[in-house]
Amino acid sequence: MGIFSFGRKNPPTPQEPEAPAGAEPQAQEAAAPRGLLDRLRAGLAKTAQVFNTDVRDLFKREGRLVDEPFLEELRGVLIRTDMGPGAAEAIVVDVRNRLRARVVDPDVVLDSIRRQLLERLHNTSAGLAVAASGPTVILVTGVNGSGKTTSIAKLAHRFTKEGKRVVLGAGDTFRAAAVEQLSLWAGRLGAEIVRGEPGSDPASVAHRAVARALESDCDVCIIDTAGRLQTQSALMQELAKIRRVIGKQIPDAPHEVLLVIDATAGQNALSQAKGFREAAGCTGIVLAKLDGSARGGVIVPVTEQFGLPVKFVGLGESADDLEPFAPDRFVAALLEGAFQQAR
């Protein structure tokens, strides 16, 4: 397998269809910030505001003694970013060990936060793994409402912008709204879609989608999977079956299994998604809905708990608002305002 590098073509963005009743929130075309850093700034606005306001409050006077009361206040700021108690404690320990009993300015503390975040987010991938030949098969998993269907459409949009031919498999057959939404997206994006009857066997849909990708010499086959089954055991069995039928058609497939996590759900999203990670053999994460309403620090416990690279982040409602995750740019967007306003 190789690594998929996305192109930079910029044809007109397709107009997204209205979502059917009961569907996941539909991405709608809107004026998006230009450039990845601008998109990150917009997506991390809520988190950045926590740093900007609370860091400024920690340094109301010039210089601040690093003592236990200060460290407790700092811990509270970090927890409010949703980065989780583990990361927050590690940062506090680092600040205590290096700066204890010193009078410091905010830049010194923020630099410690920056270094710790970059260290914890280093586990990244250069891109999506692809088949050495033939279609690349991508399974997408996640709980209902996580942004899974919209993330699939955004992925397909990225591929079609490159001139890649895409087949979609509407494998979440237990949710008619998800199938209808994906079908609308396929029409707008010029992607072929394979779907089944409501409640039909998802593995059968996956089999037919891969068969169609092979038959039509397509580049990419993206398959949606069920967001909920009656029991955890049923979910694991269904996902295992999908993997088996795909593997029989294409060796080493699926080449990627992406877990979509809702950034606005915070710690709840982590516990909900744990079963999918274990059942599906996930290879990477798409952090969806990082659009200004979420606290972006959740990306830290996501990478730590699942031990998986964050491949993409969803930064808004436009079809183009799906970006490869870059830790350095992410941390820069998160802390840039705090550095500027705390001075």
pLDDT tens track for 256-285 = 999 999 888 877 777 767 777 777 889 999
> Residue 319 CA to chain centroid, in angstroms?
14
Residue 52: is its pLDDT beyond 60? yes
The maximal CA–CA distance of the chain, rounded, in angstroms, is 69
CA distance 294 to 252: 36
pLDDT attached to residue 18: 42
More confident: 32 or 111 = 111
CA distance 298 to 265: 9
What letters, b where the CB count within 10 A reaches 16 and e where it falls short, cover 69-90?
A: ebbeebbebbbbbbbbeebbeb
pLDDT attached to residue 105: 85
Mean pLDDT of 76-98: 91
Q: With CA atoms as reference, report the closest residue to 338 among 135, 113, 110, 82.
A: 110
Band the pLDDT of 302: cuts 50, 70, 90.
confident
Q: With CA atoms as reference, report the closest residue to 154 among 27, 30, 259, 9.
A: 27
> 22-26, 104-108, 214-218, 247-251: which range is least confident on average?
22-26
More confident: 251 or 291 = 251
Burial of 197 (0-12, 13-18, 19+ CB in 10 A): exposed
pLDDT attached to residue 171: 95
Mean pLDDT of 42-47: 80
Provide the whole-model pTM: 0.83
Contact 251, 137 (CB under 8 A): no
Q: What is the DSSP string of 170-238?
A: ---TT-HHHHHHHHHHHHHHT-EEE---TT--HHHHHHHHHHHHHHTT-SEEEEE--S--SSHHHHHHH
- The pLDDT mean for the chain works out to 82
Neighbouring-strand partners of residue 64: 104
Residue 8: is its pLDDT beyond 60? no
Mean pLDDT of 45-53: 80
pLDDT attached to residue 279: 74
pLDDT attached to residue 41: 81
**Location of structure tokens 């092979």:** 214
- Domains parsed from the chain with CATH numbers: 40-123+335-342 (1.20.120.140), 127-325 (3.40.50.300)
CA distance 134 to 195: 22
Residue 176: is its pLDDT beyond 50? yes
pLDDT attached to residue 169: 98
